[in-house]
């Protein structure tokens, strides 16, 4: 779709991880690519939402404010994300925020700074059309392409309705070919 953030290929995702220099930046990108969370949700994560005394939680509970309601999404933690978070935990200071920042009035990494970190990597790799929202769109699109039911993806993404979710998803031309070729009559 025109005007939407680029869906990253597997190779591009791998390249972004390679180019990011710190465990913090890898954890930031990993949270987006493995959970489909918005960058604003990621930077507001608190350490107790992610870590236990023994390690990394198996599920993140994300609080999302909707028009009149507060909605909670439970998102399982992918094994690769678990490792990224374990690696990052060694560097993170004892703070409320997962991504603390003394430069921000909120005490956590700002959206602008998170965007800058990731945009630099996208620019170096010449990923035209990529943005922090590419992480969310890529995650949700790959789940859809893998055949995950839309209602399940909606539970993870926190979209209010399936129409909103479907606007995020990109249809792979190969999926159309596979769909037609499945017809056996």
Host domain of residue 177: 10-181
pLDDT tens track for 37-87: 999 999 999 999 999 999 999 999 988 776 667 777 899 999 999 999 999
The answer to whether residue 116 sits within a structural domain is yes
Which pLDDT band, with edges at 50, 70 and 90, does 1 fall under? very low
Beta-strand (E) ranges in 83-150? none
The answer to whether residue 26 sits within a structural domain is yes
Which pLDDT band, with edges at 50, 70 and 90, does 167 fall under? confident
CATH value at residue 18: 1.10.443.10
pLDDT tens track for 132-145: 999 999 999 999 88
Q: Phi-psi category of 126—alpha, beta or left, where left has phi over 0 and alpha has psi -120 to 50?
A: left
The answer to whether residue 115 sits within a structural domain is yes
Residue 176's beta-bridge partner residues?
A: none
pLDDT for residue 100: 94
CA 42, CA 25: separation in Å to the nearest integer? 12
Provide the mean pLDDT of the chain: 90
């Amino acid at each position: 779709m025109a005007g939407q953030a680029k869906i990253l290929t597997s190779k591009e995702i791998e390249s972004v991880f390679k180019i990011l220099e710190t465990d913090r930046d890898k954890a930031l990108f990993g949270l987006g690519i493995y959970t489909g969370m918005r960058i604003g949700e990621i930077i507001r994560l608190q350490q107790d939402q992610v870590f236990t005394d023994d390690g990394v939680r198996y599920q993140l509970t994300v609080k999302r404010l909707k028009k009149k309601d507060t909605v909670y999404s439970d998102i399982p933690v992918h094994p690769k994300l678990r490792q990224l978070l374990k690696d990052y935990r060694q560097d993170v200071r004892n703070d409320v925020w997962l991504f603390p920042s003394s430069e921000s009035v909120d005490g956590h990494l700002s959206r602008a700074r998170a965007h800058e970190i990731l945009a630099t990597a996208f620019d170096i790799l010449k990923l035209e059309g990529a943005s922090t929202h590419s992480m969310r769109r890529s995650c949700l699109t790959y789940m859809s392409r893998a055949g995950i039911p839309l209602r399940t993806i909606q539970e993870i993404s926190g979209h209010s309705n399936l129409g909103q979710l479907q606007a995020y998803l990109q249809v792979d031309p190969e999926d159309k070919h596979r769909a037609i070729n499945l017809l056996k009559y």
